[in-house]
Amino acid sequence: MRTHDDSKEAAGAATGWRRLRGGMTLGLLLGLSATIPLSWAEDPGVTDKAIRIGATIPLEGDYKVYGQAMKQGMEAALAGQTVQKRAIEFIAINDFYDPAKAVEAAKKLIEQGIFAMVNSFGSPTTRAVLPVLAENKVPALGFYTGAAFTGPGDVLNFRASYAKEVESVVDAALAAGFKPTEVCAYAQNDAYGMGGVKGFRAALAKQPGMESIVAKVDQILNMPGDNPERNGIGPVGVYQRDTVSAREGYQSLKKWEAASGNRCRLVATTAVYDPAAAFLGYARYKGETWIFSSPSPAAGNRLATMLKEHGITDKVIATQIVPPPDSSLPIVAEARKALGNNLDYVSLESYIVGKLFVTIMQAIDGPLTRDNFLKAVKRQPYDIGGVKVDFTTDNQGSDFVQATVLRDGQFIAVTPQELVDLFK
């Protein structure tokens, strides 16, 4: 028979065992929590109330016209948007369009905790930052670069490549009857400029008998280093980044004309605003009657105003990678309402990229993880208010290129056929 003392002893033992078992269970749970797969929880940059994304852009300095417009477009696109009851915070850090500063800014954003980098600026800066993002498994979406990066890491390009922009104009000139030997190029001497030269090369390579000239362009493209001597080799002139000196690049094209016996009729440029305007003005000052083209980073009203100061009001083509700001597409109408007088091609592109990010995030099936984000990216094409974006087959979302022509001091959107007719 169990005595009262025996019962007390047994009860005490049972209580001790329950405490021990409870402690063991708690310890086991704590141990397991350290090994729970990341897919069970949201990734860095995601809290109960917000999703934090970042960008490195030139908010100060010579290139602030880009960064400020990009920031305005992104903030307008993200205002009032939610994903799984979370607001979206956009943190932009100034990098002066400097690769070293862009890397510093990217590391700072990663330390603060971001889900993705969205709508950063520049080809040389992107080239410097991508390895850092890849190391930390941070996706890169919709950067303002047409250098068509494929990695390292998860890179999702929205805009058509600079190669595509340049190639479309050269193709139109050739279709109108220009000889391939009458087309030349002028470019910034870095990843941005060489992106455009790749399009120039692609257009020439489609023409018969151009093997020797294409080989010279390949020599120019394949030169190693940050600022190699690319002038004086073929139908290409270059200028050094962060300068506006047009003389050496111009002389490179004149040397090509003299050596080859060919005359440049179209010069496809890949520059930014000030160097582009300086080169066009210098060539006109020298008496050249060349037709010029300029890609989206140096296009629109700002370029028209700068060219007017050089007395240039015609014979310039500028390509854009989003519809015109006066387009009737729903996304453009929405951007006009949101941005008002701040709407231009740059802020419109950023607005579209912001809406693209929100749309993909809202399509995520399950927890807000980077893996699920990338699955949503690849799952289906997206229609962003009339702008088609498709990552299902590669990392290039859009190949849309809109040609505009300088008439009476303004760039006017034209159809592909009207562009061909311009060259006739």
The mean pLDDT value of the chain amounts to 91
pLDDT, tens digit, for every residue of 247-305?
A: 999 999 999 999 999 999 999 999 999 999 999 999 999 999 999 999 999 999 999 99
Q: How confident is the model at residue 31 (pLDDT cuts 50, 70, 90)?
A: very low
Q: Whole-angstrom Cα distance, residue 45 to residue 39?
A: 15
Q: Which of 35-44, 83-92, 415-424 has the highest mean pLDDT?
A: 83-92
1 within domain boundaries: no
Does residue 316 sit in the same domain as residue 169? yes
Does residue 201 sit in the same domain as residue 308? yes
Give which of 324, 387, 325 is closest to 353, Cα–Cα. Answer: 387
Tokens of residue 285, six digits: 């000052």
Dihedral angle computed from the Cα positions of residues 34, 35, 38 and 43, in that order, rounded to the nearest 10 degrees: 10
CATH number of the domain bearing residue 310: 3.40.50.2300
153 Cβ contact partners less than 8 Å away, ≥ 6 residues apart: 130, 131, 133, 134, 135, 137, 138, 139, 140
Over residues 192-211, mean pLDDT: 97
Q: Whole-angstrom Cα distance, residue 345 to residue 352?
A: 11
Does residue 191 sit in the same domain as residue 304? yes
Does residue 293 sit in the same domain as residue 177? yes
Percent of the chain clearing pLDDT 90 (strictly above): 88
Over residues 216-240, mean pLDDT: 96
Q: What DSSP designation does 368 have?
A: -
Predicted confidence (pLDDT) at residue 79 exceeds the cutoff of 80: yes
- Specify the number of domains making up the chain: 2
Does residue 301 sit in the same domain as residue 176? yes
Give the pLDDT score at 4: 42
Does residue 135 sit in the same domain as residue 185? no
Tokens of residue 82, six digits: 């939610």
Residue with tokens 């001091």: 409
43 within domain boundaries: no
Q: Whole-angstrom Cα distance, residue 65 to residue 86?
A: 31
Give the pLDDT score at 226: 82
Predicted confidence (pLDDT) at residue 30 exceeds the cutoff of 80: no
- Considering only 31-35, 108-112, 183-187, 291-295, which range has the smallest mean pLDDT? 31-35
Q: Which residue has the higher pLDDT, 383 or 6?
A: 383
Task: Supply the Cα-derived Rg of the chain in whole angstroms.
Answer: 27
Tally Cβ neighbours within 10 Å of residue 333.
Answer: 14
Give the pLDDT score at 88: 98
253 within domain boundaries: yes
Does residue 283 sit in the same domain as residue 360? no
Does residue 228 sit in the same domain as residue 336? no
Tokens of residue 189, six digits: 């001497």
- 41 alpha-carbon distance from chain centroid: 30
Does residue 228 sit in the same domain as residue 246? yes
pLDDT, tens digit, for every residue of 312-344?
A: 999 999 999 999 999 999 999 999 999 999 999
Instruction: State whether residue 187 is helix, strand or coil.
Output: strand
123 within domain boundaries: yes
Does residue 173 sit in the same domain as residue 308? yes
Predicted confidence (pLDDT) at residue 156 exceeds the cutoff of 50: yes
Q: Which residue has the higher pLDDT, 24 or 54?
A: 54
Q: How confident is the model at residue 1 (pLDDT cuts 50, 70, 90)?
A: very low
Domain span at residue 335 reads 50-159+326-389
Does residue 226 sit in the same domain as residue 360? no
Percent of the chain clearing pLDDT 70 (strictly above): 90
Give just the sign of the alpha carbon dihedral 179, 413, 396, 237: positive
173 within domain boundaries: yes
Burial tier of 75 (Cβ tally within 10 Å: 0-12, 13-18, 19+): middle
Is the peptide bond between 416 and the residue preceding it cis, with omega within 30 degrees of 0?
A: no
- 419 alpha-carbon distance from chain centroid: 25
- Alpha-helix runs per DSSP H in 242-299: 247-260, 273-285
Tokens of residue 255, six digits: 């040397």
Give just the sign of the alpha carbon dihedral 279, 280, 281, 285: positive
Give the pLDDT score at 424: 86
Does residue 110 sit in the same domain as residue 135? yes
Give the pLDDT score at 27: 45
Q: How confident is the model at residue 41 (pLDDT cuts 50, 70, 90)?
A: low
Give just the sign of the alpha carbon dihedral 66, 70, 72, 73: positive
Predicted confidence (pLDDT) at residue 121 exceeds the cutoff of 60: yes
11 within domain boundaries: no
Predicted confidence (pLDDT) at residue 74 exceeds the cutoff of 70: yes
